[in-house]
């Protein structure tokens, strides 16, 4: 065997595993079918601005070891995500906090006032919330659900909120303070110079082949290394033999404007059906750039997944989770293959969880 490990996918799972293996003296080959490293966190410099090509990414974590690890490759800035939500001509702060509540209900001045409204509105939900709609109403009441959650979620998932699992909305904090920080984690930021630089540094000294699809030469690749780290889609690995898992895709429409400041914030969520996009990203604000003469803006349109598109989101409802479990059973029987990351584990993972999981899988190797 020429390599100890063949890593399929140069995203964060693959890059972390490859980096740890290389540091432990192993011989590693990384392949990726895309023309670039970094998977979905890839950033490209356009007009001097680091553009998040596969969707906006903000690093946030509670794991000190993960934070120290990523900071050992690149310095992070102090960016704190505070998206603004727009519905029609109204603007609200996100996540749901006292700024949001006092604008939604004009008699709210204290946390107690806000709680009174939420308690009253959530009375319609009795027992454990059974789906995203019930979960949302029991967290923030129907008024906010209808203005800031229902439309966004329907556009994002192309399903009724009553047919979606409640865990999706549990990611968002609800606070009785005037704190617009979207995340509760202790550490947060964006790599100075972009995520591509982070992954480039993780892969330093490792052989990487781009534009290389594992499935074009599967038999040969299987013979090249003692172990395969596979970070592509698990159903594809098994040739969809048990059926196809569902995914959601996205379409990004990126524009360059001759303007210093287009929207005044990195992220604006469009929570209503008056536009088809869910988010508008102005990339320069991730790095506090308020002076360069141009700006790069991306409109994010959710889309059904079709052959040839990127699989951005797994659809973790009961039906798909059951099928993924069947695939997982098959994958557990493989002795020389580690399935890791968002697509191979069919999990709605954040970046830090993906890195943590790769660290744990590598620890399991020794
Ligand atoms: P990927 O980055 O998808 O990497 C997998 C790689 O494998 C890809 O490069 C792919 O080309 C390659 N590959 C697949 N099949 C093959 C094959 N057959 N042959 C060769 N190569 C193959 N997380 C956060 O923490 N904060 C955020 O703000 C955030 N925002 C997000 C926004 C969007 C729009 C999306 C979609 C996700 C976001 N995430 C965020 C999640 C984050 O993107 C993931 O957790 C992380 O990038 C997953 O890394 P991965 O290595 O598992 O997968
Ligand atoms: N969400 C919403 N309104 C918003 C933002 C998010 O209803 O303005 C819901 C939506 O269902 C979404 C989920 O919260 O799928 C998780 O949002 P997050 O921003 O974490 O999504 P991601 O970054 O993973 O796309």
Whether 58 lines ligand 1, by a CB cut-off of 6 Å, is yes
Residues labelled as active-site residues: 171, 175, 248, 279, 300, 348, 350
Structure tokens at 6: 């063949």
pLDDT band per the 50, 70, 90 thresholds, residue 171: confident
Q: What is the pLDDT of residue 366?
A: 78
Q: What is the pLDDT averaged over residues 108-127?
A: 97
Cβ 45 vs Cβ 53: under 8 Å:
no
Domain parsing of the chain, residue ranges: 3-75+187-244+315-363, 95-168
Q: Which residues, other chains included, contact 313 with Cβ-Cβ below 8 Å and sequence gap of 6+?
A: 247, 248, 249, 348
Q: What is the pLDDT of residue 5?
A: 98
The answer to whether the beta carbons of residues 209 and 29 sit under 8 Å apart is yes
Cα pseudo-dihedral 169, 174, 180, 184, rounded to 10: -80
> Rounded to the nearest 5 degrees, what angle is found at the Cα of 264, between the Cα atoms of 348 and 77?
60
Instruction: Output the CA 62–ligand 2 centroid distance in Å.
Output: 20
CA of 169 to the centre of ligand 2 (A): 7
State pLDDT tens for residues 16-63.
999 999 999 999 999 999 999 999 999 999 999 999 999 999 999 999
The residue with tokens 């790599």 is 191
Query: Given this model, what pLDDT does residue 198 score?
Result: 98
Which residues, 6 or more positions from 127, have their beta carbon under 8 angstroms from its beta carbon? none
How many Å apart are CA 164 and CA 136, to the nearest integer? 11
Peptide bond into 95 cis (omega under 30): yes
> Best mutation site among 7, 10, 11, 301 for ligand 1, i.e. most ligand atoms within 8 A of its Cβ?
11
Element (H, E) at 3: strand 3-8
Section 317-331 average pLDDT: 97
Tell me the β-bridge partners of 52.
Answer: 43
Q: What are the tokens at 109? A: 């001045």
How much is the mean pLDDT over the chain? 97
* pTM, two decimal places: 0.97
Distance, CA of 366 to CA of 360 (rounded, Å): 11
- Arithmetic mean of pLDDT, 297-302: 98
pLDDT digits (tens, 9 = 90+) for 222-274: 999 999 999 999 999 999 999 999 999 999 999 999 999 999 999 999 999 99
pLDDT, one tens digit per residue, over 123-153 is: 999 999 999 999 999 999 999 999 999 999 9
The pLDDT > 70 percentage for the chain reads 100
Task: Decide: helix, strand or coil at residue 42.
Answer: coil
Q: Please tell me the number of the ligand nearest to residue 213's CA.
A: 1
The yes-or-no verdict on residue 1 having pLDDT over 80 is no
What is the mean pLDDT of the segment spanning 342-363? 97
Q: How are the residues of the chain apportioned to helix, strand and coil, as percentages rounded to the nearest 5?
A: 35, 20, 45
Q: What is the pLDDT of residue 20?
A: 98
10 CB within 6 A, ligand 1: yes
The crossing angle, in degrees rounded to 10, of helices 150-157 and 132-140 is 150
pLDDT at residue 116, as a whole number: 98
- In this structure, of 8-12, 167-171, 234-238, the range with the lowest mean pLDDT score is 167-171
More confident residue, 276 or 317: 276
pLDDT digits (tens, 9 = 90+) for 54-106: 999 999 999 999 999 999 999 999 999 999 999 999 999 999 999 999 999 99
> Quick one: CA dihedral 206, 73, 62, 161, positive or negative?
negative
If you average pLDDT over residues 189-207, what whole number do you get?
98
Q: Which CATH architecture has domain 3-75+187-244+315-363?
A: 3-Layer(aba) Sandwich (3.40)
Q: Which residue has the tokens 């556009």?
A: 155
Instruction: Give the ligand with the smallest distance to the CA of 56.
Output: 1
Convert the pLDDT of each residue in 280-291 to its tens digit.
Answer: 999 999 999 989
């Amino acid at each position: 065997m020429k390599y100890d490990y063949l890593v399929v996918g140069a995203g964060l799972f693959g890059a972390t595993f490859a980096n740890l293996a290389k540091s432990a003296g192993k011989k590693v080959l990384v392949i990726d079918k895309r023309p670039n490293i970094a998977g979905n966190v890839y950033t490209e410099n356009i007009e001097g601005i680091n553009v998040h090509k596969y969707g906006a990414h903000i690093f946030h974590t509670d794991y000190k070891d993960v934070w120290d690890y990523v900071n050992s490759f690149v310095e992070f800035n102090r960016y704190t995500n505070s998206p603004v939500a727009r519905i029609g001509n109204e603007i609200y702060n996100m996540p749901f906090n006292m700024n949001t509540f006092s604008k939604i209900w004009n008699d709210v001045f204290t946390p107690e006032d806000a709680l009174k409204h939420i308690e009253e509105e959530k009375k319609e939900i009795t027992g454990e919330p059974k789906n995203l709609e019930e979960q949302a109403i029991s967290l923030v009441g129907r008024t906010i659900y209808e203005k800031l959650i229902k439309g966004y979620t329907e556009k994002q998932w192309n399903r009724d909120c009553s047919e979606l699992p409640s865990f999706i909305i549990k990611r968002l904090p609800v606070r009785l303070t005037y704190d617009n920080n979207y995340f509760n984690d202790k550490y947060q930021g964006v790599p100075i110079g972009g995520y591509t630089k982070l992954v480039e540094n993780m892969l330093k000294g490792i052989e990487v082949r781009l534009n290389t699809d594992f499935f074009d030469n599967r038999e040969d690749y299987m013979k090249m290394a003692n172990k395969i780290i596979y970070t592509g889609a698990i159903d594809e690995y098994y040739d969809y033999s048990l059926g196809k898992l569902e995914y959601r895709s996205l379409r990004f429409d990126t524009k360059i404007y001759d303007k210093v400041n287009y929207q005044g914030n990195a992220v604006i969520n469009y929570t209503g059906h008056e536009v088809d996009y869910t988010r508008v990203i102005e990339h320069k604000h991730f790095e506090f750039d308020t002076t360069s003469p141009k700006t790069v803006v991306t409109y994010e349109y959710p889309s059904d997944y079709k052959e040839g598109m990127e699989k951005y989101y797994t659809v973790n409802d009961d039906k798909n989770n059951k099928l993924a479990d069947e695939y997982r059973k098959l994958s557990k029987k493989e002795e020389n293959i580690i399935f890791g990351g968002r697509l191979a584990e069919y999990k709605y993972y954040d970046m830090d969880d993906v890195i943590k999981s790769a660290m744990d899988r590598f620890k399991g190797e020794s």
